[in-house]
Amino acid sequence: MALQPRPPRFVRLVFASAGLVLLVAAGAVMATFLRAERAAPERAATSGPTLVFAEFGLNADEILVAPAEDPEARTPIQTIPHASGWGLNPAPALVAGRTAYTVLPPNATPSRTSAAELWLLEVDTTSASRLARDADLLAAPVLRQDGAVLAYRRTEDGGGQSLLRVDLQTRARRVLHTDHSSFGLFPVGFDEGGALLFTRLSADGTDLMRVSEGAAPELIIHASDEIARDWSVAPAGDAVAFVAPLLQAERIVHQAQVVSLRTDAVVATTPAASFLGEQYGPTWRGDGALALGREAIDGGGVAPVVVGTAEGPILPAASAGFDVPLGWSVGGDYLAVRHFSGSGSQNPGTETLVLIGTDSSRQTIATDTELIFLGWTGA
Amino acid sequence: MLSRVTSTSRTLAGALILGAILGAFALGVQIAEPPTAHACAFDPLRPAAYEGDALRERYLLAIDAAAINQLFPGDSYFGLPSVEAGTRTNRAAGQPAVPVEVLRAIGWVESTLTMASRSTRFESIGPALVSFDCGHGVMQVTSGMTIPLGAEGRPTEHQTAVATSDTHNIARGARILASKWNDAPGLRPVAGTDTNGDPTLIENWYYAIWAYNGFTGPGSRQSNHPLDPNLAWPRPAYRCDGTQSRTRYPYQELVTGCVTNPAQRGGGDLWAAVPLTLPDFTQPQFFNAMRLASFTFPYREMDIPTPQPAHRSVAPQLPENAQLVLLGSPQLSVNGSSVTIHANGTPDQASATIRIANPGSGLLSWSATPSDGFLIVDPPAGSAAGSGVSCTAVDCPNGQITVTINPTLLPASRASGTITITSPNAPGSTTIRVQVFAEFEVAAPGTSRAP
C-alpha cells in the first residue's frame, strides 16, 4: 500500500484552528441542549392583553400567545414534549411574564405515578428551563405574586408529601413542610407576607394552612368537612376564595366562600351566597372583584357573575351552557373561561376556551384538541 | 487526495466530539441523571414479543375470548375465577366473566392494544412493551412481574407467558380485573347496592376499574379519586381520541370514556360504543361515598347504587375457530445443537445466534436459560409465529437469540455451558451446548491461563 503525503503544516494549522472554533461552538450547543433550556423565536409585540395557552398534543403541547382582540392571530412560542397522552399541568396564572408547569418527560412511563419535571417558562423571552425532576404531575405549582418564588409538591420515597420553595433567582430549593399523615397537600399560593398557603386533606376535611421557611405550619381555617377546591388567592395576597360542597335542595352543590388572610376567618357575608346552585372557579380581578361560574339551572346559557364591587360588569352569556372562570387579563377587560355546552357538573357537554370581554364580546378559541390556559400578559 | 481529505475529516470529527464534550463540561452543564430503575422480571434485558395487526383484530378476539373465560378455563393463573355477585351480606360465586367492553377499553388505555414496543412494526417481532414500572404487554400487567420469581433468580414460565404471549397477557389482565371485582366487599366497596351487585351491569365495575390502576385516595400522586382537587372540575367526558390530556382524569373515567367513545383505526370504531353512566356526584348517595371520611378501610361507606341508566354487558360471540386462531398448537424447534464463541475473535465469532422456529400453529412463547453466569442470552425470552399468525417483517417468523459472554465470569479461557430453551405453551425443550474460547487472560481470581 502506497503511503500518502501529509498535508503542509499551514493547512493542518488552518484545519486545527477551524476545529477549535467548531469545537467551542459545538460545546456551547451541547451545553445549551444539556442544560435543558428551550428557546423559540420571539413573537411580535402587542400592546393589549395577550392570552397565553397551550394546545394539547398527543406527544407534545404547543404554547401559543394570541392578542385578546384577535385570538386567531396566534404565535407559537414553545413546544413542550411529554410522555404520550399526558399534557402539561400549569400554575393557575402567569405572574410577571412567567409561569411554571409540571410535565412527564417523553421518556417517562406514561403514568400519573411517574416523577414529573418542573419547568419555568418565561413568556417574553420564550425560554423554558427545568427546575426539578421530582415533582408530582397532578399538583400544579404556584408562583408568588412578584414571580420571584414558586412552590411545588413532591412525593417522598418513603411516603408522605413535601412542599418545596424554589427561589427563581438562585434556583435554591428548600423543603418548607413534609406531611406523612394526610391524604395530601395542595399548594394554593402565597399571602401578602410571602408565606406559602396550602391545603391539607384528611379524614376531617380540608384545612387551609400557611407555612414560612423555618417555621412550623399554622392552621388558618378549617375550610370544610369535605373536599374544598378551586382555591384562588386575591391579587394583594390578603384573601382566598374557594368552593366547598353543601347540601342544597337535596342536591350537593359547591358554593364559593372567601377567607380573609388578615383575620383568618371566613368573610361574614360571602357575596356569592345569593346565587343558588353549583358555583365554579372563583377568580380574582386586579381590583378585588371576584368572578364566579354558575351552573345553567334553567336550560339557558349562564355567564359568570362578578361580585365584590359596587358596579360589577354584566358579562354576556352564551345561548346555552355555562362558564368556569380561569383568569382575568391584567387590566380586567377580558375573562378567560372554560365554556361547557351542557348544564352542569353531571352533564358538562363539550368544553371550549372562550374569552369574555367586558364590552359584551365572546370569542371562542377554535381548536381540534384540548386547550390549556396559562394566563395573560400585557396591559 | 482522497486519503488526505479523509484523514483531515477524521481529525476534525475527533476534535469536534472531544470539543463538544469539553465545551459542555466547561460551561458547567448538568448532565441529565439516569432515571431510577425498577427491577422487572427480565431486567436488565428485555424479552421479545409478537406485535399483531394494525386493526387489533387478533387482540380484540383474544379479549372477547378472555372476557368469557374461553382462553385458559380452569387455569389458576390465566383462567377467570368465579365472579361474585351480591351486596355485602349476600355475596355469592357467579359466572367466570368480565365485561368485554371494559376489558377492551382497559387494553386501549394501558397500551393502545399493543404487545411490543412502539418501534416494532405490526405483524412482526420486536422488543416487548415493558413500562418503567414493569407493566408488560397489552394489559400492562404489573402484578407478579416486578422481580424474577423462578429458581436462581430467573423468570418463571408464568412470567415468560405474560411478557411474550398476547393471549396469556390478556387473560392475565382479565383475571386481575376479576380479582379487583372480587375484592369487594372485604377489601373494597361495592358498586350496585340496589342491583344486587350484578356483575353484568357495566356501571357496577366502577370500583374494579379504579382498582385496576390503583385504588388510590384523594391527594396522592397517583390519585384516581374522582373529586380530587387536582383533577379538573367539571370535566368533559374523555373522548379516547388522543385530543385530551389524561392529566385531568381519574383512571376509571379514561376507561369508561373509551367504552363510550371507541378508539378508531382504519377509519372505523374498534368496538361498539356503549354510553356508560358515571356516578352523579350532585346526588348525596354518590357524593357521600366519595367523602374524605368514607375513604377508610374496608370502605363500607363507599358502597354505591348502580349509576343509572345502567348498561348490561353483551357477551361476545366467538367464531368457532377462535381457540385455533388464538392459541393454535405451537411447537418448539431450535436450529442446531451447539454453538461456538471465540471471545476475542471477529464480531461474528464473538457471538452466536440461535434461531427458534414454530413449525406448529399459533404463537410460540419461549425462554432461554443459560447454565452459567458467563453466558448472556438476549433476548431472554420471546415469540415465534407459526401457521395462522401473520408475520410479514424481515425477521419473521422465527425467534432469535444472540449469545455472548461476560468475560469477567469465565472460569477459564476455554469453557463450555448450555442454554436450555423451553416454552410455556409447547411441549419439550432443547439444550444447546456452547463452547467458548477466550485466548486472553481471564481476570477471575484463582484462575490462570489454560494449559
ipTM: 0.88
Cis peptide before B185 (omega within 30 of 0): yes
- Structure-model confidence comparison of residues B237 and B3, the more confident one: B237
Q: How far apart are CA B78 and CA B94, in angstroms?
A: 18
Q: Give the distance from CA A67 to its chain's centroid.
A: 19
Residues B355, B235: one domain?
no
Give the nearest partner residue to A4 out of B3, B28, B292, using CB atoms: B3
Residue A212 and residue B16: Cα distance in Å, rounded?
49
Residues B341 and B304 in one domain: no
- The pLDDT of residue B11 is above 90: no
Average pLDDT of the residues in B383-392: 95
B400 and B317: one domain?
Answer: no
Which of A23, A109, A161 is opposite residue B132, by nearest beta carbon? A109
Instruction: Output DSSP code: residue A36.
Output: T
Q: Is the dihedral angle over the CA atoms B120, A133, B33, A39 positive or is it negative? A: positive
* Whether the predicted pLDDT of B77 surpasses 80: yes
Q: Cα(B421)–Cα(B432) distance, rounded to whole angstroms?
A: 8
Q: Which cell is A91 given?
A: 400554575
Kindly state whether residue B141 falls inside one of the protein's structural domains. yes
pLDDT averaged over chain B? 89
- C-alpha distances out from residue B356 to B375, B389, B405, Å: 18, 16, 20
Of B322, B338, B363, the domain-final residue = B322
Q: State the pLDDT at residue A19.
A: 53
Percent of chain B's residues with pLDDT above 90: 80
pLDDT value of position B103: 98
B216 and B339 fall within a common domain: no
Same domain, B242 and B359: no
The CATH number of residue B391's host domain is 2.60.40.3450
Taking the C-alpha atoms of residue B416 and residue B436, their distance in angstroms, rounded to an integer, is 6
Q: Which candidate, A242, A182, A241, places its Cα nearest to that of A217? A: A182
Residue B137 has pLDDT above 90, yes or no: yes
Give the mean model confidence (pLDDT) for residues B283-296: 97
Adjacency order of strands within the sheet including A205-211: A184-190, A196-202, A205-211, A218-224
> Is the model's pLDDT at B344 over the cut of 70?
yes
- Please answer yes or no on whether B23 and A27 come within 8 Å at the CB atom: yes
Residues B124 and B220 in one domain: yes
Q: What is the pLDDT of residue A311?
A: 64
- Mean per-residue pLDDT, B188-211: 98
Q: B144 lies in a domain?
A: yes
Task: Report residues of chain A scoring pLDDT below 70.
Answer: 1-46, 268-273, 310-312
- Can you give the residue range of the structural domain that contains B424? 328-437
Decide: B164 and B66 in contact? Cβ < 8 Å.
no
**B21 contact residues in A (CB cutoff 8 A):** 27, 30
Confidence at residue A312, expressed as pLDDT on a 0 to 100 scale: 67
B245 strand-pairing partners: none
Question: Is the preceding omega at residue B411 within 30 degrees of 0, hence cis?
Answer: no
- Would you say residue B27 lies in a domain? no
Q: Which amino acid is located at B63 in the chain?
A: I
Contact residues, chain A, for B296 at CB < 8 Å: 203
Task: Assess if residue B16 is contained within a domain.
Answer: no
Identify whether B18 is part of a domain. Answer: no
- Does B25 score more than 50 pLDDT? no
The β-bridge partners of A229 are: A243
Interface test with B, best of A11, A82, A109, A154 (most B CBs within 10 A): A109
Instruction: Let me know whether B118 and B249 are in one domain.
Output: yes
Spatial separation of the C-alpha atoms in residues A69 and B322, rounded to whole Å: 60
- Amino acid, res. B59: Y
Q: What per-residue confidence (pLDDT) applies to A36?
A: 53
Map grid coordinates 476534535 to a residue: B15
Chain B touched by A112 (CB under 8 Å): yes
Average pLDDT of B437-441? 74
Question: Both ends of chain A: CA-CA distance in Å?
Answer: 75
Give the Cα separation of A66 and A50 in Å (integer): 5
Among A57-71, B150-164, B431-445, name the one with the lowest average pLDDT: B431-445
Interface A:B, Cβ pairs < 8 A: 217
The reported pLDDT for the residue numbered A174 is: 96
Q: Which of B307, B322, B337 is the last residue of a domain?
A: B322
**Phi, psi for residue A22 in degrees, rounded to 5:** -65, -35
- Say yes or no: B342 and B309 in one domain: no
Q: Going by C-beta distance under 8 Å and a sequence separation of 6 or more, which residues neighbour residue A59?
A: A81, A82, A84, A106
Q: Are residues B336 and B253 in the same domain?
A: no
Q: What is the pLDDT of residue A297?
A: 78
pLDDT recorded at residue A9: 57
DSSP-H helix ranges across B125-193: 157-164, 166-182
Give the pLDDT of residue B13. Answer: 43
Same-domain pairing of B361 and B314: no
Distances (CA, A) of B95 to B62, B89, B202: 19, 19, 15
Whether the predicted pLDDT of B36 surpasses 50: no
pLDDT score for B348: 80
Domain boundary, last residue among B275, B293, B322: B322
Query: Is B40 inside a domain boundary?
Result: no
Within a domain: B429: yes
**Residue B37's pLDDT band (boundaries 50, 70, 90)?**
very low
Q: Which three cell numbers stand for residue B276?
A: 356508560
Q: What is the pLDDT of residue A286?
A: 92
The vertex-A49 CA angle with A48 and A50, nearest 5°, equals: 115
Which residue in chain A is spatially nearest to B12 when comparing CA positions?
Answer: A19
Per-position DSSP letters for B365-389, written without gaps between them: EEEEEESSTTEEEESSEEEEE-BTS
Q: Is position B280 within any domain?
A: yes
Q: What sections of B165-244 are H helices per DSSP?
A: 166-182, 206-213
Best of A112, A136, A338, A343 to mutate (most B CBs within 10 Å, chain B): A112
Judgement on whether residues B139 and B96 belong to the same structural domain of the protein: yes
Q: Let me know: does B331 contact B426? Beta carbons within 8 Å.
A: yes
* CA separation for the pair A229, A242 (Å, rounded): 6
> How many domains are there within chain B?
2
What is this structure's pTM? 0.88
The DSSP secondary structure of B260-280, one letter per residue, reads HS--EETTEESS---------
Kindly state whether residues B125 and B264 are assigned to the same domain.
yes
